[in-house]
């Protein structure tokens, strides 16, 4: 039984109440040392039978015969344990061998519990303040699954979640390009880039090597006043924006711009294939300005950016 200095604890990742997290955490094999503990203080906010507060299971599961005899199934720990004494409230007096055996084990298991003068609460061992933060878990997951030398994607709030996911897929070469589809057995008329027809269409070509993409990056680089804003692949782009400059706000802006550029190029490619709408690089670069402006304007805290200034340079008014 895992224990803490203030009392028994429960590993919530193994708990039914966090089933979804449990599955995900189990998949990435970090369930052994990341947990949220139930710290029992005054014990008046934790259910004796139904919450998992001592041992690996609820007492209902561990002592089914006793649970059947319990008169108030939702009673709190403080209802049953007081000053080191057990205050049972049975419907009937335990008499059978099985019941007496369970009662003996149950009494031995819980009568060492001592309440302390604080409220019952959940404590997460990931953060120093004991509060569970999603972003801390996110960082842990990223670091624990990182390959040697791998650059982690900066998941930024300013960019829509679907764009973050898009970049993540691009970095893993998981976009449904002609090459990727062919590999999966899908027959296509041609695996060449539908825009330039110069090379096989893969993620790197679509987003960075295609003349269309290259031209868009050139326009965007000119607007950002960053010469040679060109990348070999998504990995290089992610690494670049993660390490660029010294101002975190400007770095965030450039991250949004680069993510937005890659997304716009991909969208233009899809528009051409599925709608036969061809977008020229200058217009695409303009749409990048517009899209990223909207993201930052509405998703960044206390952002007083104006469209005119933004068009002149995205970094002048941080």
Residues engaged in binding Zn ion (CB under 5 A):
193, 195-196, 210
Nearer Cβ to Zn ion (70/201): 201
**Cα 270–195–170 angle (5° rounding)?**
50
Nearer Cβ to Zn ion (63/195): 195
Q: Least separation, in Å, of the C-beta of 199 and Zn ion?
A: 6
Nearer Cβ to Zn ion (210/292): 210
Q: Least separation, in Å, of the C-beta of 30 and Zn ion?
A: 41
Q: Least separation, in Å, of the C-beta of 267 and Zn ion?
A: 15
Q: Least separation, in Å, of the C-beta of 195 and Zn ion?
A: 4
Which residues are bridge partners to 37 per DSSP?
A: 123
Task: Enter the tokens of residue 308.
Answer: 């005119």
Nearer Cβ to Zn ion (193/258): 193
Cβ(124)–Cβ(130) below 8 Å: yes
Nearer Cβ to Zn ion (205/252): 205
Q: Least separation, in Å, of the C-beta of 200 and Zn ion?
A: 9
Q: Least separation, in Å, of the C-beta of 211 and Zn ion?
A: 6
Alpha carbon separation from 235 to 157, 165, 172, 212 (Å, rounded):
20, 14, 8, 20
Nearer Cβ to Zn ion (84/211): 211
Q: How far apart are CA 222 and CA 106, in angstroms?
A: 73
């Amino acid at each position: 039984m895992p224990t803490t200095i203030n009392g028994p604890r429960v590993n919530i990742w193994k708990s039914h109440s966090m089933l979804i997290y449990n599955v995900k955490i189990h998949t990435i094999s970090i369930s052994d040392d990341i947990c949220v503990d139930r710290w029992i203080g005054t014990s008046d906010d934790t259910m004796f039978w139904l919450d998992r507060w001592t041992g690996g299971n609820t007492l209902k599961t561990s002592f089914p015969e006793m649970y059947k005899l319990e008169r108030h199934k939702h009673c709190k720990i403080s209802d049953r344990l007081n000053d080191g004494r057990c205050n049972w409230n049975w419907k009937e007096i335990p008499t059978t061998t099985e019941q007496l055996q369970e009662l003996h084990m149950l009494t031995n298991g819980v009568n060492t519990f001592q309440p302390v003068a604080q409220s019952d609460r959940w404590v997460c061992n990931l953060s120093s303040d004991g509060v569970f933060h999603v972003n801390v878990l996110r960082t842990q997951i990223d670091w624990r699954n990182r390959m040697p030398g791998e650059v982690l994607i900066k998941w930024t709030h300013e960019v829509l979640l679907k764009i973050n996911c898009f970049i993540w897929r691009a970095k893993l070469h998981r976009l449904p390009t002609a090459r990727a589809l062919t590999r999966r057995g899908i027959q296509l008329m041609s695996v060449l880039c539908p825009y330039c027809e110069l090379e096989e269409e893969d993620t790197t070509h679509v987003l960075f090597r295609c003349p269309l993409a290259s031209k868009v990056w050139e326009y965007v680089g000119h607007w950002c006043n960053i010469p040679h804003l060109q990348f070999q692949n998504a990995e290089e782009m992610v690494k670049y924006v993660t390490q660029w400059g010294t101002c975190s706000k400007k770095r965030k802006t450039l991250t949004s711009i680069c993510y937005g550029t890659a997304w716009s190029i991909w969208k233009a490619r899809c528009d051409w294939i599925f709608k036969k709408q061809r977008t020229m690089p200058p217009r695409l670069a303009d749409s990048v300005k517009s899209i990223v402006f909207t993201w930052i304007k509405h998703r960044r805290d206390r952002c007083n950016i104006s469209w005119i200034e933004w068009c002149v340079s995205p970094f002048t008014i941080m």
